Amino acid sequence: MKHTLLRHSSRALLLALAGLGFTHTATAEVSRGALMATTCYACHGTDGRSAGAIPSIYGYPPEIMIAQMKAFRDGTRPATVMDRHATGYTDEEIKLIAEYLSTLR
């Protein structure tokens, strides 16, 4: 189910970028981690730069992000909504998102 959803999300992103005039070469540069990280931006701000009470995740160290996401997922870190978000990701997906976010500078 997750892989089907990701494939549909990837296609939707590619179609949207193509509609904006991006070429196939430009859209091929979007990594899986970058694509998945876009779901974080609704709460954590554009590119993870929060302007409010929700923490910024822009440039966040990957080892800390991975540990925190796994703690949310296994219930050892208190959360309001992050525990529910984290349960939707595999270890590999958490790593990809964390590695991508850490590259933003």
CATH number for the domain that contains residue 75? 1.10.760.10
State the pLDDT at residue 3.
Answer: 54
Domain ranges, residue 99: 31-103
Q: Which two tokens stand for residue 73?
A: 């997922």
| Residues 71 and 49 reside in one and the same domain | yes
Residues 20-37 have a mean pLDDT of 72
For the chain, what is the mean pLDDT?
84
Domain total for the chain? 2
| Residues 74 and 45 reside in one and the same domain | yes
Distance in angstroms (rounded) separating the CA atoms of residues 46 and 37: 10
| Residues 61 and 12 reside in one and the same domain | no
Residues 30-41 have a mean pLDDT of 95
Collapse the DSSP code of 57 into the 3-class scheme (helix H, G, I; strand E, B; otherwise coil) and give the result: coil
| Residues 68 and 92 reside in one and the same domain | yes
* Orientation angle between helical segments 91-103 and 62-74, nearest 10 degrees: 140
| Residues 25 and 39 reside in one and the same domain | no
| Residues 10 and 59 reside in one and the same domain | no
Residues 18-34 have a mean pLDDT of 66
pTM for the full predicted model: 0.72
Distance in angstroms (rounded) separating the CA atoms of residues 10 and 16: 10
